[in-house]
Structure formats: structure tokens, C-alpha cells
């Protein structure tokens, strides 16, 4: 078993690229868990977004934003909440970024994935489905894929895949090493399904015991076709706007489901690792014959 700590606070950030007017002439934000700040091209959080946008094939239509990221001023929205459903920092932060764009112009991006804000980021999508004033109290409709990005890096032993964005959901990022080119699609699906399964376990545990500071995770898990389908879309199809992910070397990782059918499954092993800089990872390896 693996003992995973639960962060006390989670933070989501959204970047409004090159708004027409600044923020300093506006009144202070009257919400203790939401901040808005002006940031420039040299800010490391802006540079992280620019790095993810460098692959035009993986970020279609976003190429014109690169010069703006490197020369203009931007507005960064940061929103915090405690772990657990409905993960208010995601919905409130995205809504604040969209409100800023309506008032001041610019282009809203999810700073964690460098993707435009899509319907999947909007709580209205869940409100329409459930006819509720807030996202469903259950997280069965939550699509995790738009909130994470899978990057790749080529090494001598093969391709290494890692996620970006799981830390703001209270989970360690996932990493897989020595992946062959032929297995990229299967591993991409596996990572999405595993992320969904891990988040479901975490949220269920918090619901049962909101005061907990850690929880136990099995070192071996089964990822099923249902996990993958739920990660990508409640309707078991790819979520809107998911055209691929950019790797550190500019290569894309497809997010389209890859065969297997409803009976698809695979066994994975997990190893928890904390780096010297504090970053947390779950290193994933296959325990079946599919890889």
C-alpha cells in the first residue's frame, strides 16, 4: 500500500493573454480565495504556458498567442479551495477568467495545460445536465481529461510520458518510462483512465472522512475501459477540443480512444516518489502483457 498525503489547499491558475486594459485601475478582488495579478512575459508561470504552446500541431490555432505571451502584459487568476468535490477552485477560477475577458478583452487559457477554456471547464455544462445551481454533488460527470495534459520526452530507453495538472486536483503527477512508439496510444488511454480512477478514490475518501490528511492507495490497480471513457467524456467519447498533447520535444500524444472495446482492461503498478524540489509523482508500470 502507498500512503498519499492530502494537500491542505489546492490552487488552479488561469491566464488572460493580452487584455485590452490592465487591472491596477480596478478595485481589489473581494474574495479571499481568489487573486488577480498583472504578470509579464518573464514570469515563470507565463513561460510555462509559452513552452507548452511551442508545438503548433499540438496546439492548433494558438500559434498567434506566442508573440503576445512574449511581449504583452497579462492577467493571472489564482483560485484556491480545499481538496474534495466540487473542487471550487476550478469552477470559480475559470469563471473569473471568462468574466475578465468579457470586461477587458484578451484570450483565456488554462495555465495548467495551456489550453483555451472549453465547455468542459464551465460548470454550466453540468448545470444543464443536472438542472442544479451548482455542479452535481457526485463527481460521476466530471471529465478529467481537459484538466490534465500528457507530455512526452524521448530518451535512450524509449519515450517517457508524464502528466501536468493532476497536482491541482490533489494528486501526484503520473509518469511512465520506456514507452515504445507503438504503445503510445494505449498508454495515453491508460494514464487518463488511471487519473480518473485515482481521483474517484480520493474524492470518495474525502466524502467519507472530510478531516483526513492522508489516505491509502493500493500499489497495484486495474484500469478499465469504463475508467478511460469516463475520463474523456460522460458519453464515452473524446472530450471537446482535445486534439493532442505537446511533448517537451514537440511531439503530440493522441487522446483518441484506442481499441479494446468495453472489455478492455490492464493492470498497473504504482511507486510513489518525492523529488528534492518537492514535486510528487506516481511512477506507473505495466503488470500485464499489453506493453
For residue 268, give the H/E element and its range. strand 265-274
Residues 17, 68: contact at Cβ < 8 Å? yes
pLDDT on residue 31: 53
Of 196, 255, 260, the C-alpha closest to 225 is: 260
Q: Which of 57-79 are b and which e, b meaning 16 or more Cβ less than 10 Å from the residue's Cβ?
A: ebbeebeebbebbeeebbbbbbb
99 — phi, psi (to 5°)?
A: -65, -40
The CA angle 146-152-156, to the nearest 5 degrees, is 165
Per-residue pLDDT of the chain (291 residues; tens, 9 = 90+): 999 999 999 999 999 999 987 666 554 444 569 999 999 999 999 999 998 888 666 677 788 888 899 888 999 999 999 999 989 999 999 999 999 999 999 999 999 999 998 665 555 444 444 433 444 446 878 899 999 999 999 888 889 999 999 999 999 999 999 999 999 999 999 999 999 999 999 999 998 899 889 999 999 999 999 999 999 986 544 333 333 343 444 344 434 444 455 568 899 999 999 999 999 999 999 997 655
Q: Look at the alpha carbons of 120, 184, 230, 112 in this order and tell me if their dihedral is positive or negative.
A: negative
| CB atoms closer than 10 angstroms to residue 182 | 8
CA distance 264 to 266: 7
CA distance 212 to 226: 28
How many helices (H) does the chain have, and how many strands (E)? 6, 15
Amino acid at each position: 500500500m502507498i500512503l498519499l498525503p492530502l494537500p491542505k489547499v489546492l490552487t488552479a491558475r488561469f491566464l488572460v493573454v493580452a487584455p485590452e486594459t490592465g487591472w491596477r485601475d480596478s478595485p481589489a478582488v473581494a474574495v479571499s480565495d481568489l487573486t488577480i495579478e498583472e504578470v509579464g512575459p518573464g514570469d515563470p508561470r507565463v513561460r510555462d504556458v509559452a513552452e507548452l504552446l511551442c508545438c503548433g500541431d499540438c496546439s492548433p490555432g494558438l500559434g498567434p498567442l506566442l508573440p503576445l505571451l512574449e511581449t504583452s502584459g497579462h492577467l493571472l487568476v489564482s483560485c484556491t479551495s480545499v481538496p474534495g468535490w466540487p473542487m471550487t477552485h476550478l469552477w470559480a477560477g475559470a469563471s473569473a477568467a471568462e468574466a475578465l475577458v468579457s470586461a477587458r478583452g484578451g484570450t483565456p487559457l488554462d495555465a495548467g495545460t495551456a489550453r483555451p477554456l472549453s465547455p468542459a471547464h464551465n460548470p454550466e455544462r453540468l448545470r444543464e445536465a443536472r438542472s442544479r445551481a451548482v455542479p452535481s454533488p457526485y463527481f460521476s460527470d466530471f471529465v478529467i481529461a481537459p484538466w490534465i495534459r500528457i507530455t512526452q520526452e524521448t530518451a535512450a530507453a524509449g519515450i517517457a510520458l508524464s502528466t501536468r495538472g493532476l497536482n491541482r486536483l490533489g494528486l501526484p503527477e503520473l509518469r511512465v518510462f520506456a514507452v515504445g512508439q507503438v504503445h503510445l496510444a494505449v498508454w495515453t488511454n491508460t494514464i487518463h483512465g488511471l487519473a480518473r480512477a485515482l481521483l474517484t478514490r480520493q474524492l470518495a475518501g474525502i466524502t467519507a472522512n472530510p478531516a483526513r490528511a492522508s489516505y491509502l492507495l493500493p500499489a497495484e490497480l486495474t484500469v478499465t475501459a469504463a475508467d478511460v471513457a469516463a475520463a474523456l467524456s460522460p458519453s464515452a467519447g473524446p472530450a471537446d477540443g482535445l486534439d493532442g498533447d505537446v511533448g517537451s520535444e514537440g511531439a503530440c500524444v493522441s487522446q483518441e480512444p484506442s481499441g479494446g472495446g468495453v472489455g478492455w482492461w490492464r493492470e498497473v503498478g504504482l511507486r510513489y516518489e518525492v523529488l528534492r524540489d518537492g514535486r510528487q509523482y506516481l511512477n506507473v508500470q505495466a503488470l500485464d502483457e499489453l506493453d
